[in-house]
Amino acid sequence: MFDEFRQIAQSISNEYIQNEKKKGSLCIGYTCSYFPEEILHSLGILPYRIKGINVSSLSVADAAFGPFICSHPKCLLQHFADGDYSFLDGIIVTPGCDSMRRIDECIRKTAVNLDLPVVPPFFFHYAVPHKITEYSIKWLVEELQRFIDEVTKHFSLSFSYDALKQSIRFYNQLRAKIEKLNSLRMEQPPAVSGADAVAAFVAGLSMPREIFLQKLDAFLSHLETQPYNNRVRLMLIGSANDDVELLSLIENDNAVVVADTLCYGPRLEIDYVDEVDEPLHALAVRYLNHSHCPRMYGGYKERKAKVVEAIAKARVDGVILQNIRFCDLHGAENGLLERDLEQMGVPCLRLEREYGPLADYERMRMRIDAFIERMEVRRYVCDRP
């Protein structure tokens, strides 16, 4: 099962998307986990979390963005320029950071300047507040309604609150299965590796959710545990990562990633949507309060508390704080976490990397191996009579 999840996670298109497109289904991509998939699902649209893996070059992206910017949006732009996302009927761009905000204008300008068909038929700029207050929740409800009005008008669809409630109920069922998978990583010893878990999370964002739920349920019902005992238990924090190979590089034969806060995963906990509340308000509350991202102002203490809680729950030996080069948000917050966690006695490794192919594989492997040796020595000393 995980072989299929890995294959889907590490590719742009897959047979499930192709089959849906042959049936005439719509598929809309989105750039940020703050967008509620439930709305698309209720309209019969396949949600797709846009990935930037496996680009062949950055020729167009380098010209549009310049050299001193996060490579994640650059890889996304390159895929659009290369036509790899031609199966998308629309795209929803969220200004999670300034680099991602610019992809909105870069996609449009690239289409004009290079005469490339890179802009999907439907294009929506989805703005999310940076603070959690009563007025920001109200504002986000209005933003969700604005999206519903525009997408239904563009594709001549009918929106139903009853259908949205059904989708919310379905996604809560899916979250329960994801929560179960995530908990298996924290067991002693872990029943699932971090690489396999992340592969499942990313694959689930790239295929029809009903099929993903069936496959995930089947896997959990027939789980064959692997020998991950006596490995150094690590937590991975930081910039967006949908590359399973990064997890495989970290784990190798001596470690296992038992928890993470990666943007393409479930973060530190599963937040369910209130099924009793008014649907749009319930979605706004859930997605805005799912604030484990440093884009949210004034929430560092809360995010650190969640990290500390996960470290204790998963019995973490050490934390890897990674960020994509030029990622100001995670780069700055990782510095604060390193300071605070080290003061608490939690060993940390800060790792700056490029998004996409592991071009600096050997450099990262050397530093990770040294960090794991530090954990092993620490464990030996602490266990000595």
Final residue of a domain: which of 102, 122, 157?
157
Give the mean pLDDT of 154-158. 97
Query: Which residue's entry shows tokens 């294009």?
Result: 123
Whether 329 and 246 share a structural domain: yes
Q: Is residue 97 located within the same domain as residue 191? A: no
Q: Is residue 1 part of a domain?
A: no
* pLDDT tens-digit series, residues 241-258: 888 988 999 998 899 999
Name the domain boundary from 128, 157, 186: 157
In a domain, 370, yes or no: yes
Residue 319 belongs to domain with CATH number: 3.40.50.11900
The answer to whether residues 273 and 331 belong to one domain is yes
Q: How far is CA 373 from CA 232, 302, 319, in A?
A: 9, 31, 13
pLDDT on residue 219: 85
Residue 8 lies in a domain: no
Residue of higher predicted confidence among 321 and 380: 321
Indicate whether 356 belongs to any domain. Answer: yes
2 assigned to some structural domain: no
- Do 343 and 234 fall into the same domain? yes
Q: How many domains does the chain have?
A: 2
**Separation CA 73–CA 61 (nearest Å):** 8
- Is the domain of 73 the same as that of 168? no
Range of the domain at 358: 162-383
Does one domain contain both 341 and 198? yes
Give 272-279 contacts, CB < 8 A, sequence gap 24+.
272/172, 272/175, 273/38, 273/168, 273/171, 273/172, 275/165, 275/168, 275/169, 275/172, 279/161, 279/164, 279/165, 279/168
Backbone angle region of 153, left / alpha / beta, with phi > 0 → left and psi within -120 to 50 → alpha: alpha
Phi-psi domain of 278 (left: phi exceeds 0; alpha: psi -120 through 50; beta: other): beta
pLDDT of the residue at 383: 57
pLDDT, position 113: 77
Question: Is 240 among the domain residues?
Answer: yes
Return the H-helix or E-strand segment holding 125.
strand 122-125
Alpha-helical regions (H) of 227-317: 244-251, 279-289, 300-313
Q: Are residues 266 and 350 in the same domain?
A: yes
CATH classification at residue 52: 3.40.50.11890
Based on the domain organization, do 299 and 169 belong to the same domain? yes
**Domain stop point among 157, 176, 205:** 157
Do residue 326 and residue 263 come from a single domain?
Answer: yes
- Report how far residue 354's alpha carbon sits from residue 142's, in angstroms, rounded to the nearest whole number: 36
User: Are 185 and 266 contained in the same domain?
Assistant: yes
In the structure, how many helices (H) and strands (E) does the chain have? 15, 8
Q: Are residues 275 and 366 in the same domain?
A: yes
Place of tokens 């289409």: 111
Residue 9, domain member (yes or no): no
Same structural domain, 261 and 353 = yes
pLDDT in tens, 331-383: 999 999 999 999 999 999 999 988 875 567 788 889 999 999 888 777 666 65
